[in-house]
C-alpha cells in the first residue's frame, strides 16, 4: 500500500471531508468484508487495503502528514526526518510573510546508514560552512553560501501509533464488555462497545509507543475480530441456528426451548414441518452500535435417535406398512422435463 494513492483506494477526492471519507470506507468495507464474500482472497486483500487507507485518512494527524510527505510520511512522522532507505532530501523554502517569515529553510532526508555520503551531499549543495546536528536542519543564511545549521534533536516528537488484533466472543460483541490486555509490558483497560463487529477499530489515545524528547505517546488501534460460535452463524445482523427435532415432533408439532443471546425462549414447531424449514424469531439476532437488532433464523433438522428400542422399530415398521403417500413421487415428477412440440422458439 505504500506506493498506492490512499485517496484512490477509498475512491474519494483529496479535498474530501472527514465525513465523506468515513462514508466511503463504510461502504467499501461492507462490500468487501471477508464474511460476506465466502473467503474470497481478492476481496480479503481489497478489504485490508481499504482498512489500511482509512487508518491513515481517517486520522486527522496522519492525514496531514500523508498530505505533506506522501507515501514516506511514516518515516518523517516517527523519525523526525530520519528513516531507512537511500539518501533523499526534500527542500521546502518559506517565503517572507509566510508561516516561516524568518526566511528559514527546511531540509528533510533519509539516510541509508552512510553518514559520510550525506555530509558530502550537503557540502556540495551548501558549501563547507555548516554544522551537522542530525534529524532536521534549518539554515539562516543564503542557501548558496556558507550556512549554520541548528540541531533539532531537542524538539519533542510524538510516539508511533501501534496496532494489535483482539478477538472477542459473539456474546461480548452483543452485550459489550470491559477487559484488560497486556501490550509491551503495560496493562491496558479496554472497553468493548455493544454491537462491536469484525473489522472495527478501537482507538486508545496515548497507549501507543513512547514519544522522544518529552513528546506524548502515540495511539493504540485494536482491530476487532468476532470469533466463531459453536451454535450460531452470523450473517449481517441475523443469527442462524440449527435446531434438531425428532420425526414425531416434526409430524405432530411441538414446543421446544431455543437458546438466544438474550436467554432461552419457547418456540412452536408447526405440525407437518419438513427438515430445512426456517422459523424466524424477530429481534433476537445480533445488534449494531445504534441498537438495531437482527433476527434469529431457526433451521429445523429432522434427526433420528442414535439408538432405537425394539418397540420403536416395531412401530416404525408398522407405520411403513400403513403409510399411504409416496413422498418421493411428487419430487420426481416435478424433476422430469416437460414434453415440448417439434417447433421450439429460438
Residue whose entry in the numeric block shows the C-alpha cell 479496554: 190
Answer with the residue of higher pLDDT: 128 or 318.
318
Res 239: pLDDT: 97
**Could you give the percent of the chain with pLDDT greater than 70?**
71
Domain 6-139 of CATH type 1.10.287.110: yes
Contact 76, 69 (CB under 8 A): yes
Average pLDDT over residues 317-322: 85
Answer with the residue of higher pLDDT: 256 or 339.
256
Confidence category of residue 178, pLDDT binned at 50, 70, 90: very high
pLDDT at residue 185 is higher than 90: no
Res 341: pLDDT: 59
Answer with the residue of higher pLDDT: 103 or 150.
150
Confidence category of residue 321, pLDDT binned at 50, 70, 90: confident
pLDDT at residue 343 is higher than 90: no
Average pLDDT over residues 178-192: 90
pLDDT at residue 131 is higher than 60: no
- Whole-number mean pLDDT of the chain? 77
pLDDT at residue 231 is higher than 60: yes
CA distance between the termini of the chain: 51
Res 154: pLDDT: 58
Average pLDDT over residues 251-276: 95
Confidence category of residue 335, pLDDT binned at 50, 70, 90: low
Neighbours of 240 (CB within 10 A): 16
Res 80: pLDDT: 55
Give the distance, in angstroms, between the CA of residue 48 and the centroid of all CA atoms in the same chain. 7
Cα–Cα distance, 52 to 49 (Å, whole number): 5
Return the H-helix or E-strand segment holding 283. none
Answer with the residue of higher pLDDT: 310 or 134.
310
- Residue-wise pLDDT tens digits, 35-89: 778 778 888 888 888 988 898 899 998 898 888 877 777 766 666 544 433 333 3
Confidence category of residue 336, pLDDT binned at 50, 70, 90: low
3-state SS string over 50-75? HHHHHHHHCCHHHHHHHHHHHHHHHH
Contact 129, 146 (CB under 8 A): yes
Equal fold, 162-226 vs 232-309: yes
Domain 162-226 of CATH type 2.60.260.20: yes
pLDDT at residue 123 is higher than 70: no
Q: Where are the domains of the chain?
A: 6-139, 162-226, 232-309
Contact 299, 242 (CB under 8 A): yes
DSSP string for residues in 108-125: EEE--S-HHHHHHHHHHH
Confidence category of residue 244, pLDDT binned at 50, 70, 90: very high
Res 306: pLDDT: 86
Bridge partners, 302 (sequence order): 245
pLDDT at residue 19 is higher than 50: yes
Name the CATH topology of 232-309.
Answer: HSP40/DNAj peptide-binding domain (2.60.260)
* pTM for this predicted structure: 0.52
Amino acid at each position: 500500500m505504500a506506493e498506492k494513492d490512499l485517496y484512490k483506494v477509498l475512491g474519494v477526492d483529496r479535498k474530501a471531508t472527514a465525513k465523506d471519507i468515513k462514508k466511503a470506507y463504510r461502504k467499501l468495507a461492507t462490500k468487501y468484508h471477508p464474511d460476506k464474500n465466502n473467503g474470497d482472497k481478492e476481496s480479503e486483500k481489497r478489504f485490508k487495503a481499504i482498512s489500511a487507507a482509512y487508518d491513515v485518512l481517517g486520522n486527522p494527524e496522519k492525514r496531514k502528514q500523508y498530505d505533506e510527505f506522501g507515501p514516506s510520511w511514516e518515516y518523517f512522522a516517527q523519525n523526525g526526518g530520519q528513516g531507512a532507505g537511500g539518501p533523499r532530501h526534500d527542500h521546502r523554502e518559506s517565503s517572507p510573510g509566510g508561516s516561516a517569515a524568518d526566511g528559514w529553510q527546511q531540509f528533510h532526508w533519509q539516510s541509508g546508514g552512510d553518514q559520510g555520503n550525506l555530509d558530502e551531499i550537503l557540502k556540495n549543495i551548501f558549501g563547507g560552512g555548516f554544522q551537522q546536528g542530525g534529524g532536521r536542519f534549518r539554515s539562516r543564511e543564503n542557501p548558496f553560501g556558507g550556512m549554520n545549521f541548528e540541531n533539532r534533536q531537542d524538539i519533542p516528537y510524538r510516539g508511533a501509533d501501534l496496532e494489535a488484533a483482539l478477538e472477542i466472543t459473539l456474546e461480548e460483541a452483543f452485550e459489550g464488555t470491559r477487559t484488560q490486555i497486556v501490550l509491551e509490558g503495560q496493562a491496558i483497560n479496554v472497553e468493548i462497545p455493544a454491537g462491536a463487529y469484525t473489522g472495527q477499530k478501537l482507538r486508545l489515545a496515548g497507549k501507543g509507543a513512547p514519544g522522544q524528547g518529552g513528546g506524548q505517546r502515540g495511539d493504540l488501534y485494536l482491530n476487532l475480530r468476532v470469533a466463531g460460535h459453536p451454535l450460531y452463524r452470523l450473517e449481517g445482523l441475523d443469527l442462524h441456528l440449527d435446531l434438531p427435532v425428532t420425526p414425531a415432533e416434526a409430524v405432530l408439532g411441538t414446543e421446544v426451548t431455543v437458546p438466544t443471546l438474550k436467554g432461552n425462549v419457547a418456540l412452536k414447531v408447526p405440525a407437518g414441518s419438513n427438515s430445512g424449514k426456517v422459523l424466524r424469531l424477530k429481534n433476537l439476532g445480533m445488534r449494531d452500535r445504534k441498537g438495531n437488532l437482527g433476527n434469529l433464523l431457526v433451521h429445523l433438522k429432522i434427526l433420528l435417535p442414535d439408538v432405537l428400542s425394539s418397540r420403536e422399530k416395531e412401530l416404525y415398521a408398522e407405520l411403513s406398512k400403513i403409510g399411504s403417500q409416496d413422498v418421493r413421487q411428487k419430487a420426481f415428477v416435478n424433476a422430469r422435463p416437460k414434453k415440448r412440440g417439434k417447433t421450439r422458439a429460438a
